[in-house]
């Protein structure tokens, strides 16, 4: 017994200190205080000030939020920006036609004048970050409701932003950290003239597609290139043909020496969302309920779409990007469940909570303040479970059925009419037209009907009738639970799944269209499904979730009070972060060991002539045969991708991977499947981020695409060959 107890204590200490070695997404302005020493001990040769310094150019000045959803980095003194292929995909696709298929063939501008503007695309630099917790939380009391609290904070932030010291062309925003226990101000500079410079063909930029997505070993050249343009004064300016290439405060040097196992790396970027400080009950729910439900629903959707895509070339093109989107999270959640299970995440959280409770109980002050926190949280999560499940069903089913999306768009015209009369109607019309036009371009009524049948079936049979629209339950019964028949009836009784007819009506008699849509069975069913959700789920869900937010906020503060020896980093919230860790392979399961590097040889091993995912362009095969790697090869081989222990998440796509000196060595674009649970519980044994080697990027630009003039703009260095 005593031995077990000792083991338990040892286990707790282990998870509190050792296991955290490479975990964390750190705020750049706190590196000096929290991380510099540790980073140096792992091999970093520069200082925290070289990374973040508001008084002179530092690495942070070369990093941008790319379009608000990815990360990019400046790699030349003329504003050249590197990001992922999948981040630049929309821009590349928008400029593609049948004659100029840049997705298929790639695109490279030969000079400035061939670089293509992209409406709506922007990059944002971070000028400075400040802790404004005191001002933001002024007047906030523990007795306030969530709504009161938020409105006080919103007022404080508005006031604070009015008085921020910044240039007229700069912006600012304030965001909550540590569940709203702290607030930080960001002063930013956004450039809105960002032009496409180049992208490899998708057979390189998205080699392996969905089969290889989230998978190590990987062989994808996931990059694309843009250039920032500025006004003549180098300041942000709206697009103009007269704009000039932006001269950055800092651009990254590029190392041609690569990395080897054990080398220090860091990744600098804009991670989107993590949940590292959840109660074990929430993690348990993710593993047991939420992820499996979402995966099961997406199984159905993917099977339907895949069935059509395999048989029909047109549908394959129309649904490829939708399929990739559905598949991306579907696959990630499966890895997440696997990883959380394999690493005993729930038990680890419980051990951590036991230690927390022990320390709290031993301190009278904490005991009053935090004594019932854990049990309150557990109870609240239990209460949330059915509502959260119903919400997963609505999100995964209703938004996937595009007949419903069409109805929602047409309804919005009706709402605009009711709210603002004729004027409102006419103002909304062009937007609705544009949205429907976009939707129909990638729409097939047969696919949608099959999706309806498959998804509505799992919607009805998978959950408690209490949460489902009465009209739907009755319709299902009336059709003897034959959802194919129900789908036939719904789709046969409307023309809304007919693009030509609907768009014609929208042009000629939009009011009539609104009326006809309203009368349809599909519309009535959709309304009833939504109403049932609003009546039975939404209110309760929000109430309990608000309570959980409050409790999680207190729990966050409590953890920081109680585990004084531990360094805390805030959950990702799409703000700028630095993460660091060593280059390292891993062992995902018994008898399987992964190396940390892949080579062009592996591309050739995966090559399947003519295949939709694994074809290899002829030119690349030739370069492989002749081993014409120039200065980018290493001992006669061409490195392609590598992995390290950096703690990253969605939004880190396109983030630079930097070496010990701050030189660019790679481009982050994915994580290894077995470790995707790092969003909830990072574990150094299996969590790895995947990067494309910058030498492969340069090789493709120079040798494959013949765009060596771009490499001329960059600063190439040899840090290992001094």
Q: Of ligand ARG, ligand GLU, none, which one does residue 652 interact with (CB within 5 to 8 Å by kind)?
A: ligand GLU
User: Binding residue for ligand ARG (CB under 6 A) from 130, 210, 448, 659?
Assistant: 210
* Annotated active-site residue in 172, 388, 428, 653: 653
Tokens 């729990």 correspond to 555
Contact assessment for residue 59 and residue 662, using Cβ atoms and an 8 Å cutoff: yes
Choice between 528 and 670, CB closer to ligand GLU: 670
> Binding of ligand ARG at residue 293 (CB under 6 A)?
no
Smallest separation, CB 306 to ligand ARG (Å) = 14
Kindly report the CA angle at 538 between 533 and 542, in degrees rounded to 5?
165
Q: In terms of DSSP H, where are the helices of 97-249?
A: 102-105, 133-136, 146-162, 202-205, 209-212
Tell me the window of 97-105, 109-117, 202-210, 419-427 that interacts with ligand ARG (CB under 6 A): 202-210
Tell me the window of 47-55, 209-217, 379-387, 659-667 that interacts with ligand ARG (CB under 6 A): 209-217
Tell me the window of 207-215, 286-294, 481-489, 575-583 that interacts with ligand ARG (CB under 6 A): 207-215
Burial of 231 (0-12, 13-18, 19+ CB in 10 A): middle
With a CB cutoff of 8 Å and minimum separation 6, the contacts of 454 are 300, 301, 303, 304, 483
Give the tokens for residue 137. 């939380």
Instruction: Select the residue whose beta carbon is closest to ligand GLU and give its number.
Output: 653
Distance CA 410, CA 612 (A): 36
Q: Of ligand ARG, ligand GLU, none, which one does residue 213 interact with (CB within 5 to 8 Å by kind)?
A: ligand ARG
Tokens 């909550």 correspond to 176
Q: Of ligand ARG, ligand GLU, none, which one does residue 245 interact with (CB within 5 to 8 Å by kind)?
A: none
> Binding of ligand ARG at residue 336 (CB under 6 A)?
no
With a CB cutoff of 8 Å and minimum separation 6, the contacts of 651 are 69, 70, 71, 269, 270, 271, 272, 273, 572, 574
Smallest separation, CB 648 to ligand GLU (Å) = 5
Smallest separation, CB 429 to ligand ARG (Å) = 35
Q: Of ligand GLU, ligand ARG, none, which one does residue 651 interact with (CB within 5 to 8 Å by kind)?
A: ligand GLU
Give the tokens for residue 136. 């933001």
**Alpha carbon of 562 to those of 278, 357, 416, 549, 566: distances in Å?**
16, 9, 53, 20, 9
Binding site for ligand GLU (CB under 6 A): 648-653, 669-671
Site string for ligand ARG, 52-91 (x = CB under 6 A): ----------------------------------x-----
Query: Which among 32, 42, 201 is positioned nearest to 129, based on CA atoms?
Result: 32
Q: Of ligand ARG, ligand GLU, none, which one does residue 206 interact with (CB within 5 to 8 Å by kind)?
A: ligand ARG
Catalytic-residue membership of 212: no
* Annotated active-site residue in 22, 61, 86, 659: 86
* Annotated active-site residue in 193, 210, 222, 683: 222
> Binding of ligand ARG at residue 213 (CB under 6 A)?
yes
State the helix-helix crossing angle for 402-441 and 521-533, rounded to 10 degrees.
120
Choice between 50 and 613, CB closer to ligand ARG: 613
- Rg of the chain over Cα atoms, rounded to whole angstroms, equals 27
Q: Of ligand GLU, ligand ARG, none, which one does residue 449 interact with (CB within 5 to 8 Å by kind)?
A: none
Smallest separation, CB 390 to ligand GLU (Å) = 27
User: Binding residue for ligand ARG (CB under 6 A) from 58, 182, 653, 681?
Assistant: 653
Distance CA 485, CA 453 (A): 8
HSE, CB side, 13 Å, CA atoms: give it for residue 152: 18
DSSP 114: G
Catalytic-residue membership of 412: no
Q: Of ligand ARG, ligand GLU, none, which one does residue 648 interact with (CB within 5 to 8 Å by kind)?
A: ligand GLU
> Binding of ligand ARG at residue 22 (CB under 6 A)?
no
> Binding of ligand ARG at residue 214 (CB under 6 A)?
yes
Tell whether the torsion through CA atoms of 645, 651, 655 and 660 is positive or negative.
negative
HSE, CB side, 13 Å, CA atoms: give it for residue 362: 7
Q: Of ligand GLU, ligand ARG, none, which one does residue 695 interact with (CB within 5 to 8 Å by kind)?
A: none
Distance CA 531, CA 472 (A): 12
Catalytic-residue membership of 329: no
- Residues noted as catalytic: 86, 222, 653
Residues that bind ligand ARG (CB under 6 A): 86, 206, 209-210, 213-214, 324, 328, 650, 653, 670
């Amino acid at each position: 017994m005593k031995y077990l107890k000792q083991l338990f204590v040892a286990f707790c200490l282990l998870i509190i200190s050792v296991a955290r070695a490479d975990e964390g997404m750190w705020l750049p302005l706190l590196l000096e205080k929290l991380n510099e020493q540790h980073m140096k001990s792992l091999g970093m040769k520069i200082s925290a000030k070289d990374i973040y310094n508001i008084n002179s150019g530092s690495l942070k000045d070369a990093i941008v939020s790319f379009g608000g959803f990815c990360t990019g980095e400046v790699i030349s003194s003329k504003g050249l920006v590197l990001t992922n292929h999948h981040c630049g995909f929309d821009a590349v696709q928008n400029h593609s036609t049948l004659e100029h298929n840049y997705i298929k063939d790639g695109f490279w501008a030969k000079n400035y004048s061939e670089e293509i503007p992209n409406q709506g695309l922007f990059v944002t630099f971070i000028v400075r970050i400040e802790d404004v917790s005191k001002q933001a939380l002024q007047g906030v009391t523990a007795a306030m409701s969530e709504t009161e609290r938020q409105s006080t904070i919103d007022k404080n932030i508005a006031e604070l932003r009015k008085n921020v010291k910044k240039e007229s062309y700069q912006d600012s925003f304030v965001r909550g950290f540590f569940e709203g226990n702290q607030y930080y101000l960001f002063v930013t500079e956004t450039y809105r003239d960002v032009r496409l410079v180049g992208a490899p063909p998708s057979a390189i930029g998205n080699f392996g597609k969905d089969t290889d997505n989230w998978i190590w070993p990987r062989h994808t050249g996931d990059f694309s290139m843009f250039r920032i343009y500025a006004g003549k004064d180098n300041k942000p300016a709206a697009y103009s043909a007269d704009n000039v290439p932006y001269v950055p405060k800092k651009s990254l040097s590029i190392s041609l020496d690569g990395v080897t196992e054990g080398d220090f790396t860091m990744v600098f970027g804009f991670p989107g969302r993590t949940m590292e400080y959840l109660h074990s009950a929430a993690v348990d729910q993710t593993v047991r309920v939420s992820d499996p439900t979402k995966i099961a629903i997406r199984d159905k959707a993917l099977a339907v779409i895949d069935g059509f895509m395999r048989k029909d070339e047109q549908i394959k093109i129309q649904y490829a990007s939708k399929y990739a989107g559905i598949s991306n999270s579907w696959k990630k959640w499966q890895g997440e469940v696997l990883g959380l299970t394999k690493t005993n995440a729930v038990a680890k959280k419980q051990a951590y909570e036991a230690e927390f409770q022990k320390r709290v109980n031993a301190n009278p002050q904490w005991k009053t303040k935090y004594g019932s926190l854990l049990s309150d949280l557990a109870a609240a999560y239990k209460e949330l479970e059915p509502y959260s499940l119903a919400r997963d069903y609505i999100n995964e089913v209703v938004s996937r059925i595009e007949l419903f999306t069409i109805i929602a768009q047409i309804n919005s015209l009706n709402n605009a009419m009711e709210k603002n009369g004729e004027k409102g109607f006419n103002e909304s019309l062009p937007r609705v037209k544009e949205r429907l036009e976009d939707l129909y371009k990638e729409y097939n009524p047969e696919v949608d009907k099959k999706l309806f049948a498959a998804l509505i079936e799992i919607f009805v049979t998978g959950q408690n009738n209490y949460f489902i629209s009465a009209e739907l339950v009755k319709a299902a019964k009336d059709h003897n639970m034959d959802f194919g028949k129900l789908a036939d009836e719904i789709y046969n009784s409307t023309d809304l799944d007919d693009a030509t007819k609907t768009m014609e009506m929208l042009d000629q008699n939009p009011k009539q269209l609104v009326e006809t849509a309203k009368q349809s069975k599909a519309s009535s069913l959709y309304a009833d499904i939504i109403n049932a959700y609003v009546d039975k789920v939404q209110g309760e869900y929000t109430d309990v979730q608000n309570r959980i937010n409050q409790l999680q906020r207190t729990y966050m503060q409590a953890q920081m009070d109680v585990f004084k020896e531990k360094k805390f980093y805030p959950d990702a919230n799409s703000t700028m972060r630095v993460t660091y860790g060593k280059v390292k392979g891993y062992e995902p399961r018994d008898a399987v060991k992964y190396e940390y590097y892949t080579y062009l040889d592996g591309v050739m091993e995966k090559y399947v002539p003519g295949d939709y995912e694994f074809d290899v362009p002829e030119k690349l095969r030739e370069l492989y045969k002749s081993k014409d790697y120039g200065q980018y090869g290493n001992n006669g081989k061409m490195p392609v991708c590598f992995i390290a222990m950096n703690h990253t998440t969605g939004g880190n796509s396109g983030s630079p991977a930097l070496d010990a000196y701050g030189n660019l060595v790679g481009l982050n674009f994915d994580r290894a499947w077995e470790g995707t649970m790092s969003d909830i519980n990072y574990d150094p044994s299996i969590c790895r981020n995947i990067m494309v080697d910058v030498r492969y990027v340069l090789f493709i630009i120079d040798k494959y695409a013949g765009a060596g003039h771009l490499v001329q703009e960059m600063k190439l260095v040899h840090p290992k060959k001094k």
